[in-house]
Amino acid sequence: MVIIQELRQRARLIALPVVAACFVAYFLYHAVQGDRGIIAWIVLSQQIRDAEATLADIAAERRVLERRVELLRPESLDPDLLEERARAVLNFARPNELIILLDDDTSP
């Protein structure tokens, strides 16, 4: 009987710290591994950096295209660009020109 009372008394003393340690371990695990944990935050940060790099590339390409479109507007028409586009669209070439066809895979 004394042994059982001693075990119950020690179990009461140990139970609260064990339960508290389990709660702390649970929340620490989810703080690191959870959907909004540290690892998820690192992955999202990398995805944001990749998206910003892609955005910068696309913005640069857009500026180039906008510049070319600006050169084709009637207010600032560039004759050389107009001739280049007309040749590309109409497949026009002069008799003394040499045409070299490239595959899409080998184009620069």
Q: Please state the pTM of the whole predicted model.
A: 0.55
Strand residue runs (E) in 1-108: none
Instruction: With cut-offs at 50, 70 and 90, classify the pLDDT of residue 64.
Output: very high
Number of domains in the chain: 2
Q: Say if residue 6 is in the same domain as residue 58.
A: no
Q: Which helix (H) or strand (E) holds 11?
A: helix 2-33
Task: Tell me what pLDDT residue 59 has.
Answer: 98
Q: Say if residue 52 is in the same domain as residue 29.
A: no
Q: At what angle do helices 2-33 and 38-72 cross, to 10 degrees?
A: 10
Q: Report residue 78: phi and psi, to 5°.
A: -100, 115
Cβ proximity of 2 and 9 under 8 Å? no
User: If DSSP codes are grouped into helix, strand and coil, which group holds residue 97?
Assistant: coil
Q: Say if residue 89 is in the same domain as residue 41.
A: yes
Tell me the per-residue pLDDT of 29-55, one tens digit each, with 9 for 90 and over. Answer: 999 998 889 999 999 999 999 999 999
Q: Is 103 inside any structural domain?
A: no
Q: Domain residues for 82? A: 35-95
